[in-house]
Each structure stands twice: as structure tokens, then as C-alpha cells.
Chain A
Amino acid sequence: MSTFSTLIVGGLATGAIYAVVAIGFALLWQASQTINFAQGEFVMLPAFFALIAMGMGAPYWLAALVTIGMSVVILGAMFKQMLVDPMIKHGVLPMAIATMALAIFMKESVKDLYSAEAYPFPSLVPDRNLAILGANISLQHIGIIVTAIGAIIGLTLLLERTSIGRQMQATAQNPTVARLLGIPVERMILLTFVINAVLVSIASLLVTPIYLAKFSSGETLGLAAFIAAIIGGFNQLRGAIIGGFLLGVVDNLAAAYISTQYRSAVPLFILIAVILFRPHGIAGRKEERTV
């Protein structure tokens, strides 16, 4: 029983990170029809910004702020202006292929300019275990879950409770009408890219202490986030959240109870099951109440 709860908490921690990355993925898709196949590498890179900042003597909190700032500029604004804007004119597929090329470019650049080694990375929360009701719970996992959920709640409040957030949603749902109403559509799309950059840098700071900073560490994560977004229904943030957590938990349980060898196949099995039984995704219903 105690291993089970340990596994669940570990799964929720992984799932929380998947969810954050999947939300960013879905946001980009909604706002600009960008399928970002470099999303995993977007999580890999900020850790190196942090390593560089800390290598120059910055304390953790400052390195984290620098990381988010650099991600906003490079993975947010520059990504949009230099790759998405010129490519999206040619269609969704050329755009998606361009992001695949970007993923390779990012991996190779980190390998050549920094190193091919894996680097340890400091954790926001000390890596200690807590005994709660007889179960062995990792404090680091709790820290990840709390931070990720905090980020998700913050984003939800921005989108639902502020005028800017609703203008972003309006832009994603019907850009032509948004433009007619005088909503600054271009600025809203840019804002979405900025938000994605913040989300991936948070995910990077959370996940790298566990998986180490390595040029190739975005591969699994990118795939998982992509699958989580599809499972959840692709154009529903709630779906990306559910998909992310579900995938994380099932993944962890499967690794423990079935086999680590089949572990990487689990997300694909879930994906196939969802496509067969709920083609619009778990949360992909048409008509729902909003607040």
C-alpha cells in the first residue's frame, strides 16, 4: 500500500509537468495553429540558461528569473517572429515540419556549444522523503505538484478572469471577429507565445533536477506532452491538464507493475484507446457551461 501511494505521488508529479507542457502546446495550437514538435526541446533548453547563469555565480532564484526572461525572448518572441510568422503562411504542415527541424537544431546546438554530458541540476525543494501515514513521500514530488498546479491556476485565472485573457480566448476562437471588435489580435498571439515560454521554463526548472540537464532530455517529454494534449482533446486546456496527469500516473504505475521495458509504449496505448473510444478527447465535448 505504501509503495502504491509513493508511486501515485510520483506519477502526479510527472503528470503535473506533462500537464504544464501540454497546456503550452495546446495554447500555441489554438492561437496560431502551430504544432510545436520542438516543445520537448523547449523544456530542455531553459535548464541550460539556468546552468549558465549559475555558472556565472547567480543564486538559484536569480538564475530562475534569468531563465524565464531568456525563454520569453528566445522561445517566445523570437520563435514566433523568426520561425512561426514566416512559416505559417505556407500552412500547418510545413510549419509543423519546421518545428521538427528546430528541435534537431536545438539539440545539436546544445551538444556543440555546451556539452553532450548530462549535468545535475539543483532542486527548488530539497530532495528529502517524508513519512506520511506510513507511506514514503518525496518532498521534491510534492514541490513539483504544488508549483505546477500553482502555475496552472495562475494561467486559468488570467484566461478566465481578466479582460486580456478573454481577448486571448476570443482571438483563438475566432480571429476574424476578434479583429472586427478591435482586439489587438497580433499582440494576443504574441502573448500566447510568451506564456508558453514561461510554462516551458517552469517545467524545465521542475523536471531537470530529476532527469538531469542533457541535450536529448526533451525527446520523451515532448512526445508525452503531445500525447497528453491529444488525449485531452487538443483544443481544451482542461483536456491537456487531465491528459497530462493521467499519463503521468499510468506511466509510473505501468513502470512499476508491468515492466520498465514496455513503459515507453504505455502513452501510445493510452493514445490509441482514447482515439478509438473518445475521438474528440476526454474533455472534448461540444457544449459546456462556463463561469
Chain B
Amino acid sequence: MSEPVLALENVTAGYGRMTILNGTTFSVPRGGITTVIGPNGAGKSTVFKTIFGMLPARAGRIGFEGRDITNLPPRDLLAAGICYIPQGRNIFPQLSVRHNIELGAVTAARRLDDLPRRIERAFERFPALREKASVQASTLSGGQQKQLEIARGLLLDPKLILIDEPSIGLSPKLVQETFAALQELRAAGVTILLIEQNARSALEISDHALVLELGQARIFGPAKEILHDPRVAELFLGGLAHD
């Protein structure tokens, strides 16, 4: 494995007195899609929040491209080239779609003179958003809202995307579209760390997989192998091994 793009070493984090990540260690290779799977409450979302400075790491080290990024605020992580798309709806409902997207670049507004071009590119990627550019974001469908979040996240050309359960609540067709967008990004050289409830379909498009259990990284390997690993199939893939 070449130099990993992201590496967690013995990271400890939690909520209040509760410790969820207790010495979590794993690394994510550059390029490709790495899917994180694990039972509910395993701490998958907590890992993302800790990487992105929304939850303090109490111990350990988080490295990005060899640089220590432990507990840096979102502003610095965005500048470093990381973007985080949390679970659920993360839009500003009463702002227009265009203004929602633009806010993805507030931290860089002064040095981005090509913002209009970047927004244009976002609309090329997601034509449905262009049609609704001047409409309140609350009027978008669930899938379009996810597209908006992805478009917003791509505005600063991130090198690493952390995306938490993008398919939740979407129709199968929209899940397909979202996964296709992630595959396109991979083709463009972006590293994607994906959490998916829909583990089987996610693993099918992934290069690597990481199994997280009780805040610990249990298994790391090629997605194909994990998909066919009997232990994993039984535990997390719902035993639907023959569809």
C-alpha cells in the first residue's frame, strides 16, 4: 500500500462521559472508494465527526497526507482538501439552491476568482439543480438535496470526501445516481470514504472496505473479499447472499 491519504492512530473520542472511539486505528489508501461498514451504533458517524473537528479527539493522532490534522477546525480541513457530507439533510432550506452551493466556498471566497465557473460545473454535473437554481432549497426532493450537498462539497475541489449514508431515504434510482456520481469522482482521482447502511450495493462499487465494531477497526481489505467474507456477510449484509 502506498502512502495512505488518511490515517487514524489510537484515536479516542466520545460524547460527555461516554467513550465511543477507544483507540481507533486505520488508514485509507489514496484514490478509490473505501466503504465503512458496521452495526448500528458502532461509531461510524462518530469517526467522521472526529476527523472533521466536530467532536474533539481526546487522544491519538489523525494524519492527512502525512500532516497532523488532529482537532483542526473545519475551516482548516476544508483548506487542506477534506470535505464532509453528514448523514441526513444538511441544507439551508430558505436560501436558494445557488446560494446554498455558493456557501461551500465561503472559506475561500477571497482567493477564488473563478467561483461562477465552479458553480457552472456543479450544474453541469447535476442538471436538476440548475433548473431549480433560484428556488428555495426546501423545495428540492430528498435526492436533489443530497446532490446539492455533494455539489457544495465539490466546490473547493476536495482530495478526500467523507460521506455518511448518502442513500438513506432515496429511491433506488436516486441511489444509483448518487453512486454513479461517487464513481465519477473516483475516476477524477478523489478519495472517497463512504459509510453505507446499504452495505452490499456500496461494496459492489468500492475498492476497499473497513469493518468497524464497538469503535474499533476489525477488518480492512479489498471490497470484493469483504463482500464474500462469510463472517461479514452473516453479520452486516443481512445474509442476502444470493440476489
Question: Which A residues form the contact surface with B (CB < 8 A)?
Answer: 163, 166-167, 169-170, 173-174, 176-183, 286-291
Contact = CB atoms under 8 A, between A and B. Distances in A.
A245 to B, nearest CB: 22
**How many interface residues does chain B have, given as a range?**
20 to 34
> Which interface residue of B92, B138, B152 has the most chain A CB atoms within 10 A?
B92
A290 B109 contact: no
B103 A167 contact: yes
B152 to A, nearest CB: 8
A48 to B, nearest CB: 37
Contact of B95 (A180, A181, A286, A290): A290
A182 B52 contact: no
B171 interface: no
> Which interface residue of A163, A181, A183, A287 has the most chain B CB atoms within 10 A?
A181
Contact of B92 (A173, A179, A182): A173
B136 A182 contact: no
Contact of B107 (A182, A288, A289): A182
B19 interface: no
Contacts of B96: 290-291
Interface string B62-84: 00000000000111001000001
Given A180-B86, A182-B74, A174 B92 contact: yes
Main SS at interface, chain B = mixed
Contacts of A290: 94-96, 99, 134-136
Contacts of B138: 286-287
Contacts of B93: 173-174
9 contacts: A163-B106, A169-B92, A170-B103, A177-B91, A180-B74, A180-B86, A181-B74, A182-B106, A183-B103
Contacts of B92: 169-170, 173-174, 177-178
B131 to A, nearest CB: 13
A215 B55 CA distance: 47
Given A166-B99, A181-B152, 9 more contacts: A163-B109, A166-B103, A167-B106, A174-B90, A177-B91, A179-B74, A288-B94, A289-B136, A290-B95
B139 interface: yes
Nearest to A164: B106
B136 A288 contact: yes
A177 B74 CA distance: 10
Contacts of B134: 289-291
Interface of B: 52, 54, 73-75, 78, 84, 86, 90-96, 99, 102-104, 106-107, 109, 134-136, 138-139, 152
A216 to B, nearest CB: 37
A278 B208 CA distance: 54
Contacts of A288: 94, 136
Contact of A180 (B90, B109, B139): B90
Contacts of A167: 103, 106
A290 B136 CA distance: 6
B135 A181 contact: no
A181 B136 contact: no
B162 to A, nearest CB: 11
Nearest to A170: B92
B91 A180 contact: no
Contact of B75 (A163, A166, A176, A182): A182
A172 to B, nearest CB: 9
A174 B54 CA distance: 15
> Which interface residue of B54, B84, B99, B102 has the most chain A CB atoms within 10 A?
B99
Nearest to B90: A177
Given A180-B74, A182-B75, A289-B134, A173 B107 contact: no
Contacts of A174: 90-93
Contacts of A169: 92, 94-95
B42 to A, nearest CB: 22
A175 to B, nearest CB: 10
Contacts of A289: 134-136
